[in-house]
Structure 1
């Protein structure tokens, strides 16, 4: 099993990534603003089930890749660095949207459709798979035991972090959106802080070595 201190660092990285702009966050906030907290929570359950799908697929895939291809770690690390730098650029590029700058003009959907769209939004989001494939290997070490078990451990840690943050955001979406819309300076601070942290993670990943 992965040591507790490394799990904490991974949880911190997952915390930063979960509040970066993306279709899951935009969908959840939009649904909450349009149909209320209940609709947002139903959509969140669908998104979390989408994470479970990715975790199962990636965990078994990582087990095969890391044992079959010796230089897979370097390839995945490179993808991870590029991915993090891409997110950093997305955060500060001209006319970029804040995660709370979402449309509130959506049709009203029933619970089944809310769940299904939340699930598909996550399953069909290639960024999630890229994150798992490129970021997990930085924390997985053969000396810690089964690669599959470590992948699942990281996956469920990410789910807990993602669910917790998204749950809070769904419950307070209207208030937070109003706060940011009225304080443009905070929007700029949030974007540059996000970009700085993501760049820092990319640099750390670039100089990390397989053990």
Structure 2
């Protein structure tokens, strides 16, 4: 896969994944609706910082492993493929019908600093680390630095996420209603599930 192909494929995948409703979307929408766009944007910046923290942890650990160990590379590849396969099957067989915006789901700490809330909500979610480890390596072209490319891919993910957060903040009055529709939630889950399955096969067939 060429550099251009990697960037285009990753950007498409990251965009679809970002648009799929999750905890971050719930936090942005709930904050924008209840406390205003400014605090919601602070939360979005905190979420972005959490992505960079996970990216740094994954980049340096991933780079070291891939550089010195064929076995580590193989284990990472198969574990990542199995994880993506499992996640894709779950989304296809059991897509959600509802997306909750309850306050208890998105507020897990007592701080009034929404930047800190967004960051901690991301950093304390181990699924983010597992997702980055299993997903990002597929888009690192052969012969390129895993560390540098990991940060680049995380930056693209953050940019897409920030644009999506700004869109949600701007359309907070309408977005929550759309994302509560069962057909929309089920469709996005199934689309993401198909994407995960495709990438699981691609990762399993990849070579160093």
Is the TM-score greater than 0.5? yes
Report deviation, 1:58. Answer: 1.4
Unaligned runs of 5+ in 2: none
When the two structures are superposed, what TM-score results if normalisation uses the length of structure 1?
0.81
The 1:25/1:82 distance shift into structure 2, 3 A limit, reads: farther
The 1:19/1:49 distance shift into structure 2, 3 A limit, reads: same
- Measured against aligned partners, the alpha-carbon deviations of 1:176-208 in whole angstroms (never above 9, x if no partner) come to 221343x43333333322322222222222222
Aligned ranges 1:119-158 → 2 under 5 Å: 119-144=119-144, 146-158=145-157
Q: Does 1:68 align with 2:68?
A: yes
CA distance in 1, matches of 2:126, 2:110: 26
Aligned to 1:55: 55
Do the aligned partners of 1:80 and 1:202 also contact (CA within 8 Å) in 2?
A: yes
When the two structures are superposed, what TM-score results if normalisation uses the length of structure 2?
0.82
Do the aligned partners of 1:44 and 1:115 also contact (CA within 8 Å) in 2?
A: yes
Aligned to 1:172: 171
Do the aligned partners of 2:6 and 2:140 also contact (CA within 8 Å) in 1?
A: no
Do the aligned partners of 1:54 and 1:128 also contact (CA within 8 Å) in 2?
A: yes
Aligned to 1:203: 201
Give the root-mean-square deviation of aligned CA atoms: 2.8
Greater CA deviation, 184-193 or 57-66?
Answer: 184-193
Do the aligned partners of 1:33 and 1:173 also contact (CA within 8 Å) in 2?
A: yes
- Measured against aligned partners, the alpha-carbon deviations of 1:82-101 in whole angstroms (never above 9, x if no partner) come to 33234334535558365x53
Greater CA deviation, 5-14 or 41-50?
Answer: 5-14
